[in-house]
A and B are shown apart, each in its own frame.
Chain A
């Protein structure tokens, strides 16, 4: 081969990137050609310097900053809905229930003339809700809750109206201290706590009527927190636990100990904080973040907030086993795995 053919191959030859036959050809040529050998030496020296310079300047392996990692792991929209969808759904329901509860004493107690209390001081959304309640009390059987598509009047009539009346009658016959007996279950309570602590949710509900229920959850929550002695009819039972964020110290309370008593009482934030606190220093930041996400997923499953818990548990256990192989000495991985397996055996 000529020098013009060989020379463009020299870098690849020195990097051992040529196929064996060409490698051999170049080697043979260099043995006989001083010019190409000199060129080859020049390239070899340059490659050597490049190697040293690039290696030297690399230093310690760089990693993404913690906040950027967190951004990565929270980047998938589906993850947001996966973790918050149930909360939002419950919040929407609560906003309706609370909305009804807050307004009913005002609206349902007739004044002297037998007419429903004036709604002039209400905003358009509330006024609309009040009209709905009026309709529900009377003969007109309009579904009150519009979370689902409105059924046809014929199909909707008897049962819906009956259920609505039941709620309304219950509200109307509330004790005279004005405290409304709404079904504030533990689940709803937890959700309200989550709402208080969840800034993303606050942002979502910051626009009035965002949830299209007449009352935003935030508004309802404000009503819960509001102490208005002049308007005893709008008060709800005093619920300090609604306004108290889960103490950080509670994170230390191991959920594993609780798990035998009632897995469904697990609190996502507490559990995630617990896991975060327990993860050893040797665990890298990416895995630490993933463990937190897994803890939240597991908590969701345990709170029966997954559509297909067995599938979700299966996926989680698979990933945890993989992590366990990589981090055999990490107790949190072991604990999460045990808890997930325990949950899998629950009915």
Chain B
């Protein structure tokens, strides 16, 4: 079982004092996160708006989270995004579209491995979007948003150990695809 650091308490101490400062602090990162999950800027805007509406009402009632506000915001955004994905079956459609795109595009990596940097990074993002829902979220929360395993666990309702292993297997899956595509070299062993 993976045991991870649990010392990230600084952010809990630095809770925003006002609703406005909370909004300012987390608006962009929540939008980025939601956009990445949903693949749609407008829907991400709707979902983040709803998250802040919930926070605004809670704040006015004095019932907003006094600790780990960031985790709360991500959890609300995450849950709404997941609901949306399930409701719209977006993930399935997305996968089908991506599969078609990949099949239709005969140009993945040239044998000589001369993909431009831009193409390489675009391919990486495509593979991220092909990950399972939970794997994708853990990858984004850790590598895009820089959240600790503990905070991610709070957001997705898993233990830190589970977050660590989910992330590892997601990264392994990506590494396998990147290796297959000739983007990452195989181990020298």
Contacts and interface: CB of A to CB of B under 8 A. Distances in A.
A72 B186 contact: no
B171 A47 contact: yes
Contacts of B168: 8-12
Given A54-B143, A58-B32, A75-B53, A46 B174 contact: yes
22 contacts: A8-B165, A12-B4, A12-B164, A12-B168, A17-B4, A34-B188, A42-B186, A50-B139, A52-B121, A53-B121, A61-B28, A62-B35, A64-B48, A64-B52, A68-B45, A71-B49, A71-B53, A72-B56, A287-B20, A290-B20, A319-B18, A323-B20
Nearest to B58: A76
Nearest to B34: A62
Interface residues of A, number: 52
A37 B175 contact: no
B20 A42 contact: no
A41 B175 CA distance: 10
B60 A79 contact: yes
Given A10-B168, A17-B5, A41-B188, A286 B120 contact: no
Contacts of A56: 121
Contact of B24 (A34, A35, A287, A322): A287
Interface string B74-93: 00000000000000000000
Given A49-B178, A64-B31, A42 B144 contact: no
A53 B125 contact: yes
Contacts of A326: 21
Nearest to A294: B20
Given A53-B124, A64-B45, A71-B53, A38 B189 contact: yes
B11 to A, nearest CB: 16
A61 B18 CA distance: 21
A51 interface: yes
Nearest to B35: A62
Interface in A58-97: 58, 61-65, 68, 71-73, 75-76, 78-79
A22 interface: yes
A73 B24 CA distance: 13
Interface of B: 2-5, 17-21, 23-24, 27-28, 31-32, 35-36, 41, 45-46, 48-49, 52-53, 56-57, 60, 120-122, 124-125, 128, 139-140, 142-144, 148-149, 164-165, 167-168, 171-172, 174-175, 178-179, 183-189
A323 to B, nearest CB: 8
A45 interface: yes
B183 to A, nearest CB: 7
Given A43-B172, A57-B121, A65 B45 contact: yes
A15 interface: yes
A228 interface: no
Contact of A286 (B27, B121, B140, B178): B27
Contacts of A139: none
Which of A42, A52, A78, A286 lies at the interface centre, i.e. has the most chain B CB atoms within 10 A of its CB? Answer: A42
Contacts of B183: 49
A78 B171 contact: no
Nearest to B7: A19
Interface string A291-334: 00000000000000000000000000001001100100000000
A62 B29 CA distance: 8
Which of B2, B21, B35, B165 lies at the interface centre, i.e. has the most chain A CB atoms within 10 A of its CB? Answer: B2
A35 B23 contact: no
Nearest to B42: A65
Contact of B188 (A8, A38, A49, A290): A38
Nearest to A20: B5
A19 B3 contact: yes
A18 interface: yes
A284 interface: yes
Contacts of A177: none
Contacts of B60: 76, 78-79
Given A52-B121, A72-B52, A12 B27 contact: no
A39 interface: yes
A272 B189 CA distance: 70
Contacts of A287: 20, 24
Nearest to A287: B20
A9 B139 CA distance: 16
Contacts of B149: 12, 17
A34 to B, nearest CB: 4
Nearest to A62: B31
A9 to B, nearest CB: 6
B31 A63 contact: yes
Q: Which 9 A-B pairs have the closest CB atoms?
A: A38-B187, A61-B28, A38-B189, A11-B168, A53-B121, A53-B124, A46-B175, A62-B31, A75-B53
Which of A22, A49, A284 lies at the interface centre, i.e. has the most chain B CB atoms within 10 A of its CB? Answer: A49
